C-alpha cells in the first residue's frame, strides 16, 4: 500500500522532529517533499509550522499505519491540549493507494482517509504536489485543487532550509 503522510511541527526542535519521521520510514520512502514554513491553520495565535509530505510504501493496514504515526507523536511528547493548537509533531495519513494506484478509502472512528480537510490545506497540498506532481485526491489532480485555493494562502507556504 502506498501512503501519503503529512508531517508537521511548530514546537521544540522542529527539524529534528520531522527528521525522526523520515528516519522511521527510511526504507519505505518513495518520495519526499522539501520542508516548508507555513502559517498556522485553524488557530492562528501560535508559531509557524514546518511541514513536509512523505510518500511511503508500507505493508501495514491503515490503522496500523495510523498507530505508527501516533507512536512517533508520543515519542515527541505530543500533548493534545487544544484542537489545531501547537504541537511537537503531527503525523497525518492523508491518502492511501493500492498497488495498482487506486485510492483506498477508510472511514472508522479512528481514521478517515482521504483526510477530510486535505483539499483545503495548502500546507498539505503544496508539499504533496512537490513530492508527486501527478498526485490525485478524491479523483481530482492535486495541482487543480491547489489552483482553486486562495493565492495568498498558497504563497504563504514557502520552502525553507535547515
Q: 125: Cβ–Cβ under 8 A, 6 or more apart, which residues?
A: 118, 119, 137, 142, 145, 146, 149
Dihedral of alpha carbons 93, 23, 53, 1, sign: negative
Give me the residue label for grid cell 503529512.
6
* Strand 106-107 relative to strand 112-113, pairing: antiparallel
Answer yes or no: 121 catalytic. Answer: no
Range with the poorest average pLDDT among 31-45, 71-85, 136-150: 71-85
Give the pLDDT score at 14. 94
**Domain harbouring 63, CATH code:** 3.30.70.560
pTM for this predicted structure: 0.93
* Candidate list 68, 92, 98, 107, residue with the active-site label: 92
C-alpha cell belonging to residue 30: 518513495
Helices (H) and strands (E) in the chain, counts: 5, 11
Answer yes or no: 78 catalytic. Answer: yes
pLDDT tens per residue across span 89-103: 999 999 999 999 999
Answer yes or no: 92 catalytic. Answer: yes
Counting the structural domains of the chain, the total is 1
Answer yes or no: 98 catalytic. Answer: no
Q: Which domain holds residue 6?
A: 2-159
C-alpha cell belonging to residue 147: 489552483
Amino acid at each position: 500500500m502506498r501512503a501519503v503522510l503529512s508531517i508537521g511541527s511548530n514546537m521544540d526542535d522542529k527539524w529534528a522532529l520531522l527528521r525522526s519521521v523520515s528516519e522511521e520510514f527510511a526504507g519505505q520512502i518513495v518520495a519526499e517533499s522539501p520542508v516548508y514554513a507555513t502559517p498556522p491553520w485553524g488557530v492562528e495565535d501560535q508559531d509557524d509550522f514546518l511541514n513536509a509530505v512523505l510518500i511511503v510504501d508500507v505493508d501495514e493496514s491503515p490503522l496500523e499505519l495510523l498507530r505508527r504515526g501516533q507512536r512517533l507523536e508520543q515519542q515527541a511528547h505530543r500533548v493534545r491540549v487544544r484542537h489545531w493548537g501547537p504541537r511537537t509533531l503531527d503525523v497525518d495519513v492523508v491518502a492511501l493507494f493500492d498497488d495498482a494506484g487506486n485510492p483506498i478509502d477508510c472511514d472508522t472512528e479512528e481514521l478517515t482517509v482521504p483526510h477530510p480537510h486535505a483539499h483545503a490545506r495548502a500546507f498539505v497540498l503544496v508539499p504533496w504536489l512537490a513530492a508527486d506532481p501527478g498526485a490525485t485526491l478524491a479523483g481530482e489532480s492535486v495541482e487543480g485543487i491547489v489552483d482553486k485555493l486562495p493565492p495568498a494562502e498558497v504563497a504563504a507556504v514557502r520552502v525553507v532550509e535547515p
